[in-house]
Structure formats: structure tokens, C-alpha cells
Structure 1
Amino acid sequence: MAYSSSTGEETALEFSLRELTGALGDSVTVLPLLIALAATTSVSLPHVLVGFGVFQIVWGLFYGLPLSVEPMKALVGLAIVGSLSYPELAAAGLLAGVVLLVVGRLGFVGLLEAVVGEPVVRGVQFAVALLLLEAALGLSLETPVVALAGLALVGLFALAGAHRSSVLVVLALGGVAAVATAGVPAPRLPEPALFPAGTPTMTGAALEGTVAQLGMTIGNAAIATALLCGDLYDRDVSADRLSQSMGVTCLAAIPAGGVPMCHGSGGLAGKYAFGARTAGANVLLGIGYLALAFVAAGALLAAFPVALLGVLLVVVALELGRAAFAPVGVGDVQSLALVVGVGVVGLLVNVGVAFVLGAVVYWVLSRPA
């Protein structure tokens, strides 16, 4: 099946086993974060899943690629660990959406990335990874035996070279345990509402989180994703255009009960590694998210074992930490020190302060002697 995408190119649309497995490659980090967010904040998981389902399909068909749609990890991670409430998360997402739409429209994305500096962006990723590990430890201590069993399972899959698949297995086991405890919920369509989980509230913490998230989004979700579209799919997609589509996503999804969403190079690479080659993967994944929205009842979520939730957060944190250090060369001591420094300050103080201090240090170090 073929159609014309937004670029006017003739684009294939395939529905096959490899597109289905490719779709799963993007869900392995999305679902654990969404479940953890729903377990720790007032967010409505069904409304969030509807947002992800709709925009997976929309942007997949729009770009004619299996483009990733994932949570803004800095903001969502801060909400999971208790630094942001859902109303603060919603306000931060709306502000980020406006900024992304404007800077993308004006063509400022590349300029902003140059000012912030990649090591600072990577440092924010590392900080969020450390915060998620801290939260994972607290959840795992609820039932240490279950947590250790889950970690052992993840380790076995990693040794077999299938560490991503381990997340789906842990999710499935947790789902079975939840169903055994709470029963199978009756399918129900989420009721349309404006800000169903709380009115957005802008605070200092929300503003700091937004600034830190924008650094990650511009570097990873816009510039790195644009490069990867060319590397993997031989498609010319501009970072500024991706910035605009992320802005539209946030401004449309959050009022309907969603969370801040972005594209991402990691999710796109995950889809490609698992076999996705067309937007068919997005359509299949979008349908899957919408189906989950109909059964994501509160009782079922409350019955999900928190220790396994901690295991899932460990996997996500390790993946995020790996992504933070992967592009930094071993011999680049200055960049390594900046990544670690921003990460540690983010853990001990907060991510916003770490981002601003990191940006200042990067600017000072980058000045000509």
C-alpha cells in the first residue's frame, strides 16, 4: 500500500510481522514510564494512552516514517519521583509546546542547540536516569524478593542479547498479577474532558523542568532524530519541522488529559532495530495504545506490583544513562566531566539548576582562549 506523505513523496505503508515487532521496539520505554506516572500522580492513564495512540498514527502517516512518539523524559521523570505534580507537569508541557512551535517556525532549533551544548543535554539525561534509579530503589524495597526475581529475569534476557524484550515480559507478568488481584476490568471509553486530571499550574519547579526538558528535546528529539531519519531511512526531515510537530502534539494532547510528548532518536532507532520500515508500525502501535486505553482501569493499575514497577524503572534508567554517555568519547575528559557534573547536581539539587549551571560552564569553556 502506498500514499503521498507531507513531503509529497510516494510512501509505502506496510502491515506485517516486522512492522509489528518494530512497533514494540518503541513501546519498551514508553509503557513503563506511563504506568509509573499513573501510579505516582493524578494523571488519567486512559486519556494519556489515547493521546499516544492518536499521535503515533498522525505523525507516522504525516512524515511517512515510523517516527517515534514518546514522553518528554525529563518532565515525566521529575513527576514520577515527586518533584512535579501532574498540574505542574501539564503547565510545563504546554509551555514547552509553545516554545517548540515558535522556535521551529522561526528556524532557531540549530542555534539553540549550539548555545546549550551537547554535554549539558547529555548531563540532563544522566540526571533523570539517576533520579529514576533512586525512585526504583524505593519501589523495589516494597517487596525485595519480587524485585530481585524481576532483575534476575532482566539479566537473563540481557545475557541472551534481548534486553529490550525483557521489559515486555516484566510488563506482561505484572499485568497478569494485577488481573489475578483485581480481575479483568470492563472495557470503557475514556470520557472526553478538558484537563481531566487537574488544571495546569505554573510554578518555579515547573519552569525549571521546562528549561531542562527543552535542552534534551532540541538535542535529542529534534536534531538527533532529524539526522537519524536520513541515516536510517534516507529521508530529509528538518529539525525545525520536528520541533513544530512536537509543539502541536503538546498543545493538542495536554488539554485532553495527555502528557508532554516528543519525538526521539532512541525510539526511532528502536523501531528500526526491531524491523519497522514504514509508517505501518505507527498505525499498529497507535491501535494498540488505543486498545489499552479501554482497559486501563484504576483498580488494575493499583494492583500492578510496585516492585516490578521498580524493575521497569531500573531498565529505563539504565537505557537513558547509556544514551547519555554513548556519544561522548572516552578521551573527551571535559565533556565527560560536564555530563557527570550536571547529572550529580541534578540528583542532589534539582535538574533546572543543573541545566543552567551546566550551560554557563559550557559557555565559559567554549570561549576562545
Structure 2
Amino acid sequence: MAYSSSVAAESDLEFSTSELTGALGDSVTVLPLLVALAATTSVSLPHVLVGFGVFQIVWGIYYGMPMSIEPMKALIGLAIVGSLSYPELAAAGLLAGGVLLAVGKLGLVGQLQRVVGEPVIRGVQFAVALLLLEAAVGLSAGNVPVAVAGLAVVGCLALVGYRAASVLLILAIGSVAAVATTGVPTPRLPELALFPAGTPTLSTGALEGTVAQLGMTVGNAAIATALLCGDLYDRDVSPDTLSRSMGATCLAAIPIGGIPMCHGSGGLAGKYAFGARTGGANVLLGVGYLALALVATGALLAAFPVAVLGVLLVVVALELARAAFEPVADRRSLAVVVGVGAVGLAVNVGVAFVLGAVAFWVLSSRA
């Protein structure tokens, strides 16, 4: 059944074990980035978690499905490697939020979707899957024995029909290991303040990062995610609606200490892969993030054995790749999907999106 309205019915919120495990399928793409960001910038981890918690709940209820809430990976990556300070990151996020809100209201993203062609968007999905696999290898390389053990657990549970339970078990084991290393932290409420981690600072680097992020966001977080909503959940959600909600999220979260956030096909596929089917998954995950904000310290999350998260990323990546290739019906479309995916992995998703659109237009004009 397709929905023309974005607002959910009451029945679209369920709270079950599968919703819980599905919710955690999104967190495996979020927590490693947050740990790295907290270790390399002045960001306040509790405030960031509050932002994720609030907007998981808001958009889960609004869309009535397990809508993903993820960091804007291009901007967060630049901050982690030192190219952007947190104040520059905040400025870039506010700028990106304003642009996304404006183009969504004008309906420009939907027009772009009609021009670009579906194989290009499928290629963006494939690119994200490859990037997730690359991240999985990087996370697992730090502790190969733990990663192998985690892979064995996931494989065994999947064989007997309990793949969704594997994420809950592995994350529970990792959490126990982290607490055993650091001890149980004392709960503390995050400070209420405007821009608690630094006043936004617009710079050339922030502008360049915003342009790179917008190319990735339009392709993956708006258009590809809208397509995946139909593929996985049979929901009619327009990319312009997603653009507006991402813009509103950034503009509301960053002033209270959050970071640039967006939707994304990877997180949506992750929730689906581990069992989430309703907005209840978002509510559960949002409550979890808010609870974690009370006890979060860099030391606690840094102590989590991230090698096991790498195993879970593999599951998410495979689900996203399956969704990308399953509807492909001809060689020309297949070539575009593979090409966009390869460029996305080698360069970035924004560049792959643009080059893929040009290549698709050329191929279509010759057909």
C-alpha cells in the first residue's frame, strides 16, 4: 500500500523485538563516526546524542516508518581528518540546512530526480554500499579475531533464521566489554546552552565542504532514500519532502550543540535488514540515544570493540547492494550502476552522482 501523505497513521508505530533490533541496524553507521568526531574536535558528545535522539523520534512518528537519521558523512569526515573545526562544521551544516529547506520547498529535488534517471540513483545506492564495506574492513582490521567471531555469530544466527537478533547480541556484548573497561559512568544532564561547543564560523573550507556534501545528500539522502522507501516499505515519499525535513533538522539541531544530520539509504537499508518495519524503531532508538546522552563519555564509546560493528556494516552493505541491483533490467543500466558505484568509492558520491547523470544522458541520447 502506498501513502501519498508523509504523516503516519497510529498503526505505523509498533514496539517489538524486531523493531528494536532494526533500530540498532541504523546505529552501527552512526556510533563509530560520533566516537571519532568526539575524539578529534571540540564537539560535545552528549549534545550530539540528544540531537540524534530527538530527531529519530520526530521523523519516526512523522513518516510512520524507520526513517534513517545519519551524520552528513562528507562534512563529518572533513572534521575528523582536521580539515574543518567544529565551528566550521556547524556553519557548513547550517548553510546546507538552509539550502536543503529552500530547494525542497521549491520542488527542485523532485525535478532533478526526473532528469537524472533511475540507474544513476541505483548507482548511488551501490556506491554507499561499497563505502560501508570499506568502513567495515577498516573497523574490523583493528581486531581481526573479534571481527571473525562476530561474523561467525551473525552467520550462524542468519542460517537458523535469526539474523535480526545477531545485532542485539553483538552490541550487548560490546557494551558490556566497554563498561568493564571504563566502569559505570555517572548520569549527567547535558548543559542547556546555545552553540555549547563553539560559535559557527564560515570559512572557505566550510563552503567547499558544503558543496561536496550537498551533492552527496541530494543523490543519496533525498533521491535514493525516496526510491528505497518505495522498494522496501511501499511508501510514496517525495525527495523534496525528505530535503525539507533534513533542512529543518540541521537548522534546529546545530544551535543546541548537534551536528549536520540527514536521511540516507544506508541507514534505511540497515533498519530494514535487521527487522524494522514501522516508526516505532525510531522511537526506541531515539530513547536509547537520549539515555546514552546521560552517560556518554568519549572514553566509554572509545572502549567499545568497533571491530564487531564492522561485521554489522557488512550486513547493511549487502542489503543496500541487493536493493540497488535487483530492479536493473538491461546492460546499459547495469553499466551505469556499476560505474557510479566505482566512482563513488574512488572519489566521492557527489562526483559520482554528477558524472553518472551526464553518462546516463549521453547513453540515452544515443539509444
Task: Give the alignment's TM-score, normalised by structure 2.
Answer: 0.80
2: distance between equivalents of 1:240 and 1:111? 9
Alpha-carbon shift at residue 122 of structure 1 (Å): 2.5
Specify the alignment match of 1:253 in structure 2.
Answer: 253
Displacement of 1:276: 5.2
Partner of 1:344: 342
Instruction: Give the Cα–Cα distance (whole angstroms) in 2 for the partners of residues 46 and 357 of structure 1.
Output: 39
Q: In the alignment, is the contact (CA less than 8 A) between 1:102 and 1:244 conserved in 2?
A: yes
* Shift in alpha-carbon separation, 1:116–1:73, aligned structure 2, 3 A: farther
Moved more, 268-277 or 249-258: 268-277
Supply the distance in 1 between the matched residues of 2:8 and 2:34 (Cα, whole angstroms): 40
The runs of 5 or more residues in structure 2 that have no matched partner are none
**1:68 corresponds to:** 67
List structure 1 segments (4+ residues) > 6 angstroms apart after TM superposition. Answer: 7-10, 226-229
Residue 357 of structure 1 deviates from its aligned partner by 1.3
List aligned pairs for 1:278-293, cutoff 5 A.
281-293=281-293
1:284/1:313 CA distance change after superposition, 3 Å: closer
Residue 229 of structure 2 is aligned to residue 225 of structure 1: yes
The residue that corresponds to 1:39 in the other structure is 35
Q: Cα deviations across residues 329-364 of structure 1 (Å, max 9, x unaligned)?
A: 3xx211221111122122223333322211211121
Query: How far apart are residue 193 of structure 1 and its match?
Result: 4.2
Deviates more, 1:259-268 or 1:129-138: 259-268
Provide the C-alpha distance between the structure 1 equivalents of 2:270 and 2:303, rounded to a whole number of angstroms: 33
Counterpart of 1:28 (choices 15, 24, 27) is 24
**Residue of structure 2 equivalent to 1:267:** 268
C-alpha distance in structure 2 between counterparts of 1:9 and 1:358, whole Å: 33
Q: Write out aligned runs for 1:328-339 (5 A).
A: 328-329=328-329, 332-339=330-337
Aligned equivalents of 2:8, 2:313: Cα separation in 1: 40
Larger displacement relative to structure 2 (196-205 or 170-179):
196-205
Structure 1, unpaired ranges of 5+: 1-6
Deviations 1:275-332 (A, max 9, x none): 755x555444432221122122211111111322332333333333333323323xx2
Aligned positions of 1:113-192 closer than 5 A:
113-192=113-192
Query: 1:4 maps to what in 2?
Result: none
Q: How does 1:202-217 map to 2 (within 5 A)?
A: 202-217=206-221
Quote the residue 1:319 is aligned against.
319
Q: How many residues align?
A: 353
CA distance 1:34–1:80, shift in 2 (3 Å): farther
**Whole-angstrom distance in 2 between the partners of 1:30 and 1:158:** 18
| 8 Å Cα contact 2:68/2:263 also seen in 1 | yes
| 3-state SS of 1:33 partner | coil
2:10 equivalent in structure 1: 12
TM-score computed with the length of structure 1 as normaliser: 0.80
**Residues 138 and 80 of structure 1, relative CA distance in 2, 3 Å threshold:** farther
Task: Provide the C-alpha distance between the structure 1 equivalents of 2:282 and 2:324, rounded to a whole number of angstroms.
Answer: 26
SS of residue matched to 1:104: helix
Amino acid of the residue matched to residue 223 of structure 2? G
Cα distance, 1:74–1:14 mapped onto 2, change above 3 Å: closer
The 1-side partners of 2:336 and 2:225 are apart by: 21
Cα contact 1:122–1:339 (8 A) shared by 2? yes
Q: Is the 8 A contact 2:127 2:340 kept in 1?
A: yes
* Cα distance in structure 2, aligned partners of 1:272 and 1:308: 17
Give yes or no for contact 2:60–2:283 (8 Å, CA) kept in 1: yes
- The structural deviation recorded for 1:8 is 12
Root mean square deviation of aligned Cα: 3.5
Judge conservation of contact 1:122–1:216 (CA < 8 Å) in 2: no
Q: Give the whole-Å Cα distance in 1 for the aligned partners of 2:138 and 2:28.
A: 16
How has the CA–CA distance of structure 1 residues 138 and 280 changed in structure 2, closer, same or farther, with 3 Å as cutoff?
closer
CA contact (8 A) 1:104 1:240 kept: yes
Q: Is the alpha carbon distance of 1:181 and 1:128 closer, same or farther for their aligned partners in structure 2, counting shifts above 3 Å?
A: same
Tell me, in whole angstroms, the C-alpha distance in 1 between the residues paired with 2:184 and 2:351.
45
